[in-house]
Amino acid sequence: MSDKTYLPAGEVPPASQIGATLEALAATIAERREAGEESYTHRLLSGPADEVLKKIMEEAGETALAAKDVESWACSSLAATLAVAGADADDALSVELPPEYDAAVDHLRYEAADVVYHLLVALERYGIGLDEFAAELNTRMTDAERPQGAVRLHDEHVKRGK
């Protein structure tokens, strides 16, 4: 676990943190189909398709920009360290990243979560469950990369492009 995360006292971690989280989120999204108009997720599931599709594109763009910010802070910190150390320093450099770098990483994580949420809403909208989505990802892996016992797509459902 990273130093930014914690497990509440007395709770037992699931076998897969990301698996359990995605399953819980997907179940919540599916339940929101029956919620009222006050639910943002319900409106994305039942409203015009363009609403959720625009959100995926918007959030993906924001994620890309957030990643560029992380890169910018890392590069500027390295450049500053090199400038102070001198151009021909042979010793290993220790780069101290500013607090803005950490804030940029946190923002990237936040935006990435927005993309995943809106993507899961789109998958639910079109009847693609997590197992089927996992099968798509697993089908793209080699036998050595794929987890043992992982679900896969039948050959007639494997599509590579249009």
Rounded to an integer, the average pLDDT of 77-103 is 71
Report phi then psi at 155, rounded to 5.
-50, -40
**Residue the block writes with tokens 């994305």:** 44
Calculate what percentage of the chain has a pLDDT beyond 90.
76
Under the banding of pLDDT at 50, 70 and 90, the label for residue 161 is confident
Q: Are 42 and 28 within 8 A, CB to CB?
A: no
User: Contact at 8 Å (CB) between 118 and 52?
Assistant: yes
